[in-house]
Amino acid sequence: MTPVTQSPVTESPARRDAVAPRAQEGDTGLDVVTGAFSYSGRSIAAALLDAGRRVRTLTGHPERAPEDSPCEVRPLDFDDQLGLVESLEGVTTLYNTYWVRFAHGQVNHELGIVNSRSLFLAAKRAGVQRIVHVSITHPSLDSPSPYFRGKALVERALAEAGVPYAVLRPAILFGGEGVLLNNIAWMLRRLPVFAVGGRGDYRIRGIHIDDLAQLCVAKSAERDDSVTDAVGPERPTFVELVESIRAAVGSRARIIHVPGVTVPWFSRLMGLVLRDVILTPDEYWAMANGLADTDGPATGTIALSEWLAAHGDTLGLRYANELERHF
């Protein structure tokens, strides 16, 4: 398949009111973002550039970097510890978005844990002053889900690294070139029915990608170690979310309820047709068990319902293929 063309990281007018990180003692003005040409990393890099920071990115696909990118590009090569240390020298804050969403080929969650530990060790050796790490809501060392257990192990590795840190835990992200809501909209536009597992009464508390980026920048100025849920002001049930997307895109698809155990099988079948991974069993299990929701206060301000209403005319016009983006 032809790789998806990555758009450059540019300053966004919507972020002009961003507040620059508070100057730290020994601040070099240089920050590193892992994956500044991917999804969350792109918004974090843009927020930093808007705040007047210099940005270097570590990316697994340096050959995809736009020629006019304002970011300095270095490879994210976990097998080259000395190279990682060199790329992190002189850096004030490392913003880490690296993770493995699903196993593919030789890449799996276990490798993601090892690679993350290697990155944190390199940051410690390079003298990075702070790490802002993007995790997930409700990680647990006891989780039956390899995804959530892996996320918890990465957080533990970060705590053991000896670098001051802030952990941000989003449930789902929306805005920009997000996959989940876009692909739900794509299916609602093209299929006569849309299947919801069980009653669909499990809640989804998303945060806009720009809210996450601003929260990351704000946390870089703090001194204490912290863990914060990165969540928006609304928490619709999944079926309410699907209904809102259907209304936003003008779909007439019928929403049907199916046994939850059939959802991973249906997702796998759709994935074979689209040559992609639609929804993993881990992801459905997490949603159905309430792990995409929190009871705490909102740390983002952009309402999901308002965003859907404003973007319904373009949402889901084109399918977003995860395998093409990352592999």
**Residues 44-72: tens digit of each pLDDT:** 999 999 999 999 999 988 888 888 889 99
* Domain identity same for 187 and 297: yes
Coil/strand/helix, residue 148: helix
The pLDDT value recorded for residue 73 is 94
More confident residue, 13 or 94: 94
Give the separation between CA 320 and CA 315, rounded to whole angstroms. Answer: 11
Is 6 a member of any domain? no
Task: Tell me the C-alpha distance between 257 and 267, whole Å.
Answer: 14
* Closest by Cα among 252, 288, 108, 303 to 279: 288
Residue 277 has pLDDT above 90, yes or no: no
pLDDT tens digit sequence for 23-41: 567 899 999 999 999 889 9
- 258 in a domain, yes or no? yes
Residues 171 and 264 in one domain: no
CATH number at residue 91: 3.40.50.720
Place of tokens 């508070």: 22
User: Which pLDDT score, from 0 to 100, does residue 20 have?
Assistant: 55
Token pair 């508390």: residue: 205
If one counts the domains in the chain, the total is: 2
pLDDT on residue 15:
45
Residues 217 and 317 in one domain: no
Q: Could you tell me if 212 and 245 lie in one domain?
A: no
Name the token pair of 216. 């990351």
Which tens digit of pLDDT belongs to each residue from 239-252?
999 999 999 999 99
At residue 116, the 3 state secondary structure works out as: helix
- Interatomic CA distance for residues 80 and 184, integer angstroms: 39
CA atoms within 13 A on the CB side of 230: 30
pLDDT value of position 104? 65
Q: Are residues 104 and 169 in the same domain?
A: yes
- β pairing state of 54-59 and 72-75: parallel
Q: With 0-12 CB in 10 A as exposed, 13-18 as middle and 19+ as buried, what is 83?
A: middle
Give residue 2's pLDDT.
Answer: 31
Mark whether 167 and 253 lie in a shared domain: no
Q: Assess if residue 7 is contained within a domain.
A: no
pLDDT band at 224 (very low <50, low <70, confident <90, very high): very high
pLDDT at 7: 39
Structure letter (DSSP) for residue 137: S
Question: Given this model, what pLDDT does residue 4 score?
Answer: 32
279 band by pLDDT with thresholds 50, 70 and 90: confident
Predicted local confidence at residue 237, as pLDDT? 98
> Could you read off the pLDDT of 92-142 as tens digits, one per residue?
999 999 988 866 677 788 999 999 999 999 999 999 999 999 999 999 999
- Looking at the predicted structure, is the pLDDT value of residue 304 above 80? yes
Domain boundaries, position 322: 180-203+234-326
DSSP 34: E
Residue 274's pLDDT band (cuts 50, 70, 90): very high
Identify whether residues 107 and 140 lie together within a single domain. yes
Q: How high is the pLDDT of residue 150?
A: 95
| % of the chain beyond a pLDDT of 90 | 76
In a domain, 56, yes or no: yes
Closest CA to 230 of 145, 306, 166, 142: 166
What pLDDT, on the 0 to 100 scale, is given for residue 215? 98
Residues 40, 150 share a domain = yes
Alpha helices in the chain (DSSP H): 40-50, 81-88, 109-126, 146-160, 180-190, 209-220, 238-249, 263-274, 281-288, 304-311, 322-326
Q: Give kind and range of the element (H or E) at residue 173.
A: strand 172-174
**218/285 same-domain check:** no
pLDDT one-digit tens code per residue, 177-209: 889 999 999 999 999 999 999 999 999 999 999
Band (pLDDT 50/70/90 cuts) for residue 18 is low
Query: Mind giving me the DSSP string for 228-264?
Result: EEE--S---BHHHHHHHHHHHHT--PEEEEE-GGGHH
**Residue 14 clears pLDDT 60, i.e. is over it:** no
Residue 87: pLDDT band with limits 50, 70, 90: very high
- 277 assigned to some structural domain: yes
Place of tokens 């390899």: 146
**Judgement on whether residues 266 and 246 belong to the same structural domain of the protein:** yes
Q: Is the pLDDT of residue 17 over 70?
A: no
Considering the domain architecture, whether residues 282 and 224 belong to the same structural domain is answered as: no
pLDDT at position 21 is 56
Cα distances (Å, whole numbers) of residue 107 to 178, 252, 322: 22, 39, 14
Do 57 and 155 sit in the same domain of this protein?
A: yes
Write phi, then psi, for 173 (nearest 5 degrees).
-115, 145
Return the pLDDT at 119. 97
Tell me if 1 is assigned to some domain: no
